[in-house]
Amino acid sequence: MAAIVSVKNLRKTYDTGFEALKSINLDIEEGEILALLGPNGAGKTTLISTICGITVPTSGTVKVGGFDTVLEYRQARSLIGLVPQEINLEPFETVQNTVRFSRGLFGKPRDDAKVAAILESLSLGDKATAKVKELSGGMKRRVLIAKALAHEPRVLFLDEPTAGVDVVLRKDMWNVVADLKATGVTIILTTHYIEEAEAIADRVGVISKGQILLVQDKSEMMSQMGKKQLRVDLSAPATTIPASLSDYDLALEMDGTVLVYTYDTRKERTGIRRLLNEMADAGLQMTDLQTQQSSLEDIFVGLVKDNA
Amino acid sequence: MNLTAIKSIYAFEMARFFRTITQSLISPVLSTSLYFVVFGTAIGSRIETVEGVSYGAFIVPGLIMLSVMTQATSNASFGIYFPKFIGTIYELLSAPVNFIEITIGYVGAAATKALFIGTIIFITAFFFVDIQVAHPIAMVAFLLMTCISFSLLGFIIGIWAGNFEQLQLIPLLIITPLVFLGGSFYSVTMLPPIWQTITMFNPVVYLISGFRWAFFGAADVPVGLSLMAISLFMAACLTAIWWIFRTGWRIRQ
Ligand SMILES: Nc1ncnc2c1ncn2[C@@H]1O[C@H](COP(=O)(O)OP(=O)(O)O)[C@@H](O)[C@H]1O
Ligand SMILES: [Mg+2]
């Protein structure tokens, strides 16, 4: 599949001299949900702003739908919808006028039915003539999405759509994103919540200190990067790990009643069968066993720590 | 040219004006009426005529100019400052529009508002004094050019301003004195010679003089000079705006 967004050697140094993006390379496939996961200050907003034209790249290129975002900004920007991190809205205007304005600003002819349909799809149908300032925070965020969708973009950027939002609203937002994906829109969202990336993304890009450390299929990332743990319940507590098992990454937990083996799923052999045999030889009797996969959070913490 | 975008910006800005139409119009009408009462009636009764025109009528062009210049400047500066302040500027910067389209939209709306107010004051003036307009087309042209050029100036101020104080500062510190000292309420020829010379460095003198000529056929400075002054002023503003958008000054990082 061809990439709908293609970022090449993108650098951004702010006037302060701070290098917020250090040679970013990133291809985003049409129709996918990509989560850019990174801690605060990683450069997520800077990356989005540079792609969308709010900040000027220091060097490198960005293409959207094949159009250069600087040289062919009109074509490129027409394809992009942006939902900013902050709730930036004209407070005194009505919801529908605000959304109509966005559509017009992007050069699309007035289409009140289209605007009404977008509002309806975001459960804002009954708020069309309400003033923006009368809405709740969650609804305002939806108005921002409606504005971003008003010109029917093919790529939607959502900058931290659930930052500082309660659990119910977050789940709500995830549903909105899933519905959008179903319409064929490519979605790039930034987040510093790992569970969010885990819950809705197809691919996850990990960004830290202005660099993309890794972009991978979510499940692949979890299975490949993840460490797995085998927990073996012992029939009798052990005080020490037998010397014959010293080659394995083992630990005793729960007062010696559980033996924990940590292994890497990327290795060709996990060593489980051999370990179990050697445990029997060493006289350790087991009553039960289970495996545990590390979460994206563990992976992420590991990556960022390695990079520090 | 993204005409739809220009239209959208213009309509959105005008909607803001019409939402607060009463406030927008009451204050200029009220202050103009006060000027007529104080200057036209109270002082005017002591001054017979200026350049062959009754004093009450003489100050009409200056009063219109005073309101139009301040309104155009403050409307345009607020128009572009407000999106910066509330953050909605992100949308303008990420939209497929260029600086010419953004400028036409915002400046066009601000100029329209100023024209509106100028017209209202003109009508108000009819209730107080007899006025004839010698050169109607020139009058409209001067009025339009003033609306546009001072909206351009306001647009620049709005982009420059980092807070509301700065937004008020330039109109208060520069435009009001220039307009008051620009012959709104007197003929420059009424000043001592040395002040006449100093006054010639005030660009507003040329605008008010030209506008007054359109009303009464008499002017402090030649009309051609007035036209040149306003054209120069407009060109300077346009150049500044072109530079601002080319460099992204105070807009794009
Ligand atoms: N306008 C700016 N001028 C200077 N530095 C900035 C500016 N905007 C952001 N930064 C810096 O760039 C880094 C990345 O910021 P940002 O992209 O907002 O991160 P994130 O969205 O991942 O939290 C931060 O260290 C921030 O302080
Ligand atoms: Mg951010």
pLDDT tens-digit map of A184-206: 999 999 998 888 888 899 999 99
Question: Which is more confidently placed, A289 or A267?
Answer: A289
Does the Cβ of A38 fall within 6 Å of ligand 1? yes
List, for residues A100-137, the tens digit of each pLDDT value.
999 999 999 999 999 999 999 999 999 999 999 999 99
The structure tokens listed for B138 are: 């020139």
Give the distance (Å) from ligand 2 centre to CA of residue A187.
16
Q: What is the mean pLDDT of residues A33-45?
A: 94
* pLDDT above 80 for A308: no
Full-model pTM: 0.86
Does the Cβ of A17 fall within 6 Å of ligand 1? no
To the nearest 10°, report the CA torsion of B40, B44, B50, B54. Answer: 70
Residues of B in contact with A106 (CB under 8 A): 5, 95-96
* pLDDT above 90 for A154: yes
What is the sign, positive or negative, of the torsion defined by CA atoms of B123, B128, B134, B139?
A: negative
* pLDDT above 60 for A1: no
* pLDDT above 90 for B191: no
Please state, for a pLDDT cut of 90, what percent of chain B lies above it: 52
Q: What is the mean pLDDT of residues A70-74?
A: 96
Instruction: Judge: A89–B96 Cβ closer than 8 Å, yes or no.
Output: no
Question: Which is more confidently placed, B103 or B180?
Answer: B103
The CA distance from A288 to A84, in Å, is: 50
Instruction: Judge: A102–B91 Cβ closer than 8 Å, yes or no.
Output: yes
The CA distance from B227 to B220, in Å, is: 13
pLDDT of B57 reads 87
Which of A78, A93, A104 faces B8 most closely, judged by CB atoms? A104
Instruction: Judge: A105–B91 Cβ closer than 8 Å, yes or no.
Output: yes
Residues of A in contact with B93 (CB under 8 A): 52-54
pLDDT of A37 reads 92
Range name among A121-130, B11-20, B145-154, B192-201 with the lowest pLDDT average: B192-201
Tell me the H-state helices in chain A.
Answer: 44-52, 73-78, 95-105, 112-121, 137-149, 167-182, 194-200, 218-225, 272-281, 296-307
Give the distance (Å) from ligand 2 centre to CA of residue A101.
25
B79, exposed or middle or buried, with CB in 10 Å at 0-12, 13-18, 19+? Answer: buried
Phi and psi at residue A24, in whole multiples of 5°? -90, 130
The β-bridge partners of A187 are A33, A156
Q: What is the mean pLDDT of residues B116-128?
A: 90
Which of A88, A91, A107 faces B90 most closely, judged by CB atoms? A88
CA-nearest of A220, A110, A53 to B245 is A53
Domain covering A227-307 assigned CATH 3.30.70 in the classification: yes
pLDDT of A219 reads 82
Residues of B in contact with A55 (CB under 8 A): 252-253
The mean of the pLDDT values for chain B is 89
* pLDDT above 90 for B38: no
Q: What is the mean pLDDT of residues B199-216?
A: 90
Give the distance (Å) from ligand 1 centre to CA of residue A175.
29
The structure tokens listed for A223 are: 């299975």
Residues of B in contact with A78 (CB under 8 A): 96
The structure tokens listed for B108 are: 């066009």
So where are chain B's domains? 3-247
Residues of B in contact with A84 (CB under 8 A): 87, 90
Interface test with A, best of B8, B84, B86, B247 (most A CBs within 10 A): B8
pLDDT tier for residue A226 given thresholds of 50, 70 and 90? low
Nearest CA to ligand 1 atom 10: A20
The CA distance from A68 to A60, in Å, is: 11
Question: Which bound ligand lies closest to the C-alpha atom of A44?
Answer: 1
Please state, for a pLDDT cut of 90, what percent of chain A lies above it: 65
CA-nearest of B121, B110, B136, B148 to B67 is B121
Alpha-carbon separation of residue B215 from A59, B34, B132, B148, B149 (angstroms) = 57, 22, 7, 20, 21
Give the distance (Å) from ligand 2 centre to CA of residue A135.
24
pLDDT of A148 reads 97
Provide the residue count of chain B: 253
Range name among A68-82, A144-158, B200-214 with the lowest pLDDT average: B200-214
* pLDDT above 80 for A221: no
Which of B5, B90, B95 faces A84 most closely, judged by CB atoms? B90
For the CA of A48, the nearest atom of ligand 1: 17
The mean of the pLDDT values for chain A is 91
Q: Is A71 on the interface with B (CB under 8 A)?
A: no
Question: Which bound ligand lies closest to the C-alpha atom of A43?
Answer: 1
List, for residues B68-121, the tens digit of each pLDDT value.
999 999 999 999 999 999 999 999 999 999 989 999 999 999 999 999 999 999
Does the Cβ of A84 fall within 6 Å of ligand 1? no
pLDDT of A225 reads 64
A229, exposed or middle or buried, with CB in 10 Å at 0-12, 13-18, 19+? Answer: middle
d(CA A119, nearest CA chain B) in Å: 18
d(CA B1, nearest CA chain A) in Å: 10
* pLDDT above 90 for B239: yes
CB A122 within 8 A of CB A146: yes
Q: Domain A3-223 sits in which CATH superfamily?
A: P-loop containing nucleotide triphosphate hydrolases (3.40.50.300)
* DSSP-assigned states of every residue in B185-216: SS-GGGS-HHHHHHHTT-HHHHHHHHHHHHHH
A177-198 b/e (C-beta count within 10 Å ≥ 16 → b): beebbeeebbbbbbbbbbebbb
Q: What is the mean pLDDT of residues B17-39?
A: 84
The CA distance from A110 to A96, in Å, is: 12
Give the distance (Å) from ligand 1 centre to CA of residue A308.
18
pLDDT of A56 reads 93
Residues carrying CATH 3.30.70, chain A: 227-307
Residues of B in contact with A89 (CB under 8 A): 86, 88
Instruction: Judge: B93–A91 Cβ closer than 8 Å, yes or no.
Output: no
* ipTM of this complex prediction, to 2 decimal places: 0.89
Strands A286-293 and A227-234: antiparallel
The CA distance from A292 to B108, in Å, is: 65
pLDDT of A249 reads 87
The structure tokens listed for A68 are: 């250069």
Q: Match 């969708």 to its residue by tokens.
A: A149
Interface test with B, best of A54, A105, A114 (most B CBs within 10 A): A105
Which of A52, A100, A109 faces B94 most closely, judged by CB atoms? A52
User: Which of B219-227's residues contact partners 24+ apart within 8 Å by CB, and which partners?
Assistant: B220/B183, B220/B187, B220/B188, B220/B189, B221/B188, B223/B138, B226/B142
The CA distance from B230 to A23, in Å, is: 49
Does the Cβ of A239 fall within 6 Å of ligand 1? no
pLDDT of A41 reads 92
Q: Is A72 on the interface with B (CB under 8 A)?
A: no
Q: What is the mean pLDDT of residues A41-52?
A: 96
* pLDDT above 70 for A307: no
pLDDT of A175 reads 92
pLDDT of A224 reads 63
Angle, in degrees to the nearest 10, between helices B21-35 and B55-86: 150
The structure tokens listed for A47 are: 């990356």
* pLDDT above 80 for B123: yes
For the CA of A207, the nearest atom of ligand 1: 22
Residues carrying CATH 3.40.50.300, chain A: 3-223
